[in-house]
Structure 1
Amino acid sequence: MFLVIVKPGMMRILLFIFLAVFISCNKEEFKKHHYELVGKWKRIEVYVNPGNGGSWQPDRPEQPVTLEFTADGKLISNDNFYSNFSSYHLNSDNSIEFQPPLNGSLRAVYYSFNSDTELTLTFACIEGCGDRFVRY
């Protein structure tokens, strides 16, 4: 058995060293990425769930759906669903508020980034819905 005797002054030094190492390690670990939504996006996958748990399926390449989020809050799209909206607002809970409201009601659309070039939008529907985009 190994016994270490630590004097009171040494205890403070060891505690200081431990805290310095602990804090410095956490800075990088918890650093958040800041990805930019503004830009042009092309849909590459659609979340399909016919009641069996669902999966991501490739989008139709012959008719690519595109979204453009402008810096001044405009939304431009060639898709039937997204073209109902002309502007957007980002909320603090990682949701996007599309304007004007569809059929008089707001629809919560949540966004997440898998990288700086891949965006996922998910929204409520009966079985779960989502679209995955790449920046182009």
Structure 2
Amino acid sequence: MKLLGFLLLLITVNSCDNTKNTSNELVGTWRHVESLSDIGDGNATFHRVNSKKTMTFNTDGTVTSNENVCTGNNFQEGSTADWDTDNESFSLGDCQATYSYDADIEELIINYQCIEACGEKYIRFE
């Protein structure tokens, strides 16, 4: 009986994983297709953009971009941010962004910290 208990404990300990938990649905590269802007009247809308910007959500718990990864009021220069899957956000220094993902249409919306509404819409990069 002690042997059985020891084996169960051993299996449990070995099954623990020390890697960061990442959302498999988001892992991969996303292409920027629309930007959200508000001219100050509270009527923010998305507009199509001709952008080469991409965001890549990596299995190591980072988000990388071919441009600046974080914009808005707390703009921080840099192309790599820390990804927090529990809070659906990523951050670089004082710049933090939140995101929402619609699995039905494979659409990712990233919201930055801005005085007026601002954000970017992405689709999966093929």
What's the TM-score, normalizing by structure 2? 0.64
Runs of 4+ in 1 over 3 A off after TM superposition: 80-83
Whole-angstrom CA distance in 2 between matches of 1:124 and 1:91: 18
Deviations 1:5-63 (A, max 9, x none): xxxxxxxxxxxxxxxxxxxxxxxxxxxxx761211000111001111211100011xx3
Listed as ranges, the gaps of 5+ residues in structure 2 are 1-22, 71-76
Looking at secondary structure, tell me which structure has more helix per residue.
1
Listed as ranges, the gaps of 5+ residues in structure 1 are 1-33
Specify the SS of the correspondent of 2:60.
Answer: coil
Quote the sequence identity (%): 26
Specify the SS of the correspondent of 1:84.
Answer: coil
- Structure with higher Rg: it is 1
Q: CA RMSD in A?
A: 2.2
State how 1:97-108 maps to structure 2 within 5 Å.
Answer: 97-99=90-92, 101=93, 105=94, 107-108=95-96
CA shift for structure 1 position 69: 1.2
Q: Does residue 125 of the first structure (1) align with residue 114 of the second (2)?
A: yes
State how 1:1-136 maps to structure 2 within 5 Å.
Answer: 36-52=25-41, 53-60=43-50, 63-82=51-70, 84-94=78-88, 96-99=89-92, 101=93, 105=94, 107-115=95-103, 117-136=106-125
Higher relative contact order (CA 8 A, sep 6+): 2
